[in-house]
């Protein structure tokens, strides 16, 4: 059975503040999202990618990579509450469009993501009603999984691994250097992702900045 994947993507002007004051910060956030979505769209296990974003301009770029764009509803909340509300919106859209597909939620900041890793981990996830992939530090969450028809509540944010695990998501056994665990929030994270091999959009952007 194939998977529908929900990817929440912030407006780049508000994204990745922990990367500091570097002038390309907003452009990097967009490149991360584009590389993440492109890798998902190329994976054989993925039926469709649903991107929830409030940015019409970025939505156009991601739609060109094969994503279905779900315009983010006007938010009455901020921070992690807003993120989880956007994810819920994407889940609803995915279940309407792909009612028989398994469902995953993946963060949009995985610039080293490889399609082969996606197919492998989705195969592991199919064995459980609910499962998850923690980030490389083992504290947060990069991906949640639920088999078709299984309800779940996304709780991305501080210590989300523990929250999701308590809610019944089995932690999938992946090495810490798996590309699906290497999200990027800081400059150090970006260096670690770079060691795995960055996607083409992020690579081109960093190359243009450094030369």
Find the helix or strand (DSSP H, E) in which 41 lies: helix 25-42
- Residue 36 assigned as binding residue: no
Q: Which positions ≥6 away from 117 have C-beta within 8 Å?
A: 178, 179, 180
* Burial of 173 (C-beta count, 10 Å sphere; 0-12/13-18/19+): exposed
DSSP 64-109: TTTPEEEEPPPPSS-HHHHHHHHHHHHHHHHHHH-TTSEEEEE-S-
Query: Rounded to an integer, what distance in angstroms lies between the CA atom of residue 180 and that of residue 183?
Result: 7
- Residue 208 assigned as binding residue: no
- Residue 157 assigned as binding residue: yes
Question: Annotated binding site: which residue ranges?
Answer: 141, 157, 160
Question: Annotated binding site for phosphoenolpyruvate: which residue ranges?
Answer: 141, 157, 160
């Amino acid at each position: 059975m194939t998977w529908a994947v929900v990817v929440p993507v912030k407006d780049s002007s508000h994204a990745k503040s922990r990367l500091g004051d570097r002038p390309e910060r907003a452009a990097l956030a967009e490149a991360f999202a584009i590389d993440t979505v492109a890798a998902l769209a190329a994976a054989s296990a993925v039926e469709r990618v649903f991107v929830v974003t409030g940015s019409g301009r970025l939505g156009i770029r991601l739609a060109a990579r094969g994503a279905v764009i779900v315009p983010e509803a006007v938010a009455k909340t901020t921070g992690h509450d807003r993120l989880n509300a956007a994810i819920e919106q994407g889940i609803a859209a995915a279940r309407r469009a792909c009612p028989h597909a398994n469902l995953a939620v993946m963060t949009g900041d995985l610039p080293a993501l490889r399609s082969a890793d996606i197919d492998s981990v989705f195969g592991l996830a199919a064995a459980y009603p609910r499962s998850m992939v923690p980030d490389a530090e083992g504290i947060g969450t990069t991906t949640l999984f639920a088999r078709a028809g299984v309800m779940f509540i996304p709780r991305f944010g501080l210590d989300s691994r523990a929250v999701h695990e308590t809610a019944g998501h089995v932690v999938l056994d992946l090495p810490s250097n798996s590309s699906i665990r290497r999200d990027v929030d800081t400059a150090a994270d970006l260096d670690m992702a770079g060691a795995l091999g960055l996607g083409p959009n992020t690579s081109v952007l960093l190359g243009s900045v450094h030369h």
